[in-house]
Amino acid sequence: MEKLTTPEPRVILIDKPLEWTSFDVVKKLRSKLGIKKIGHAGTLDPLATGLLILCTGKMTKKIESIQAQEKEYEGSFTIGQTTPSFDLETKPTPPVSYNHIKNEDILNATKLYIGNITQTPPIYSAVKVNGKRAYESARAGVEIKLKTREVLINKFEITDINLPVIKFKVVCSKGTYIRSLANDFGKTLGVGAFLSALRRTRIGEFKISNALTIEEVE
């Protein structure tokens, strides 16, 4: 494995650990490389794992073009409950019955979310509203309204059903919130849902199989 010891401009693929923020990874690499000019190409939430692309030096000019590329995710929804953040950052509501939900219902529901769709970002997100991050207002108990956006979902595949957990694979455009997809999917099923696990496996041609773990960086 190549050692990350030179200040040469580079693109570095990292497998972000659970509960680390994307900026935590940037700080770690900045310290290990001894280089100040470093940034990431696309945020991952603390409760998500997987591919985080870092660029150093002159390669930071590529960040915008990397961010614009297609993303691939794997993860799971838990149905029968919802959360304000659409994931486990906030407490789930009391469960409701999902016994009437059939596998066929779940598979049919995915068809509604393939192609160009409109979704609203979670209020617990980094979207700016009046110059302030939405999650800051949400955590302060301030009510805000976020604008809807159009995104493209090229693939939405159910890979396993073991209710209340549904495992999936999604291939989508920049700006897609998988948490919002989970929440909307739960509404379609009529029982609610939240994102219980998420892993980014690809950005464009960059794959998680080529990424370094934090332990390997150490």
Q: Dump the DSSP string for the chain.
A: -----S----EEEEEEPTT--HHHHHHHHHHHHT-S-EEESS---TTEEEEEEEEEGGGGGGHHHHHTS-EEEEEEEEES---TTSSTTSPPPPP---TT--HHHHHHHHGGGSEEEEE---SSSS-EETTEEHHHHHHTT----PPPEEEEEEEEEEEEEETTEEEEEEEE-TT--HHHHHHHHHHHHTS-EEEEEEEEEEETTEEGGGPBPHHHH-
* Distance of alpha carbon 35 from alpha carbon 56, whole angstroms: 8
Handedness of CA 202, 206, 209, 211 (dihedral sign): negative
Is 184 designated active site?
A: no
Angle at 157 between CA 85 and CA 11, to 5 degrees: 70
In contact, 185 and 77? CB cutoff 8 Å: yes
Catalytic residue among 15, 45, 87, 184: 45
List the catalytic residues. 45
